[in-house]
Amino acid sequence: MARSFSMHFKVEEVFHNDGLWVLNKPSKVLSHPNPPAKEAKNAILQVPYDSQREVFISKNEHGGVEEVELLHRLDQDTSGLILLCTDFELGAQLKELFFRHEIRKEYLALVGGVPRSKEGIWADRLTRQKQGKQVKVVVQKGGRPNAETRFRVLKTFDNGGLSLLSLSPITGKTHQLRVQCASRGHPIAGDERYGDFKWNRQLKEAIELRRMYLHASRMSFRHPKTGRNLKFEASGGRSLEAPIENLS
């Protein structure tokens, strides 16, 4: 199962067993085609996608139909681990784990400046706001927080001009990490929507950063059926390694 699904040529397979399929998605590749399109050349899988059911559909060598469920998404500009499922019963159980925040995810982010504390939890109330023809996520003052992220400073560069952070979202709101970083004066390097555009151009020239520096590097959870504790890791490759080397 899942072998009949053609992957985007830049996508890497991390794990495929026990009903799970874990992929490493590069930046600029879509988690799924944007509706109403059913297929996209820059989607992780090169087969039709049913956006209502959130499944990719393919035909196997015997002419039968196979389906794989997409369990969560990453922004197009974000790279890293993405989880799919070939067992729909397992898929429902994993979605429940996501709902209960029992699937732990860690992202690496290069940001401007240095947070006041070396580690802690950011809690905000995020809402969507229309700005011209674009809809952006913003931090709303007051009200009960609906977005929480655990952060930790891993390393600082350029005399405190940049920091490499570990970000572990407790909740899963749209653009949560990008907005929470930017709202605190620590925009993610290369973020073209919430970041500092002039600074992004400077980074592109200075350290050859040609993408947004946000990468889903680790994921861990207990398999609902087998009881196995699973841990996955994925490298961001040279697009993230080279800029750090240029800073060091």
Task: Give pTM, 2 decimals.
Answer: 0.94
Confidence (pLDDT) at 4: 66
Cα torsion through 194, 110, 171, 106, rounded to 10: 150
- The list of the chain residues with pLDDT below 50 reads 1
CATH of the domain at 29: 3.30.70
* Same domain membership, residue 213 and residue 127: yes
196 is catalytic: no
In this predicted structure, what is the pLDDT of residue 3?
A: 58
65 and 81 co-located in one domain: yes
The residue from 65, 100, 135 where one domain ends is: 100
pLDDT given at position 44: 97
Kindly state whether residues 158 and 223 are assigned to the same domain: yes
Q: Which residue has the tokens 């992220």?
A: 149
Residue 215 and residue 132 share a domain: yes
Phi, psi of 88 (to 5 degrees): -70, -30
Mean model confidence pLDDT for the chain: 94
Determine the pLDDT at residue 157.
Answer: 95
If one counts every other C-beta atom within 10 angstroms of the C-beta of residue 140, the result is: 14
Q: Which of 18, 50, 75, 196 is catalytic?
A: 75
pLDDT value at residue 131: 78
Tell me, what CATH number does 221's domain have?
A: 3.30.2350.10
Number of structural domains in the chain: 2
- For residues 234 and 146, membership in a common domain is answered with yes
Contact 139, 164 (CB under 8 A): no
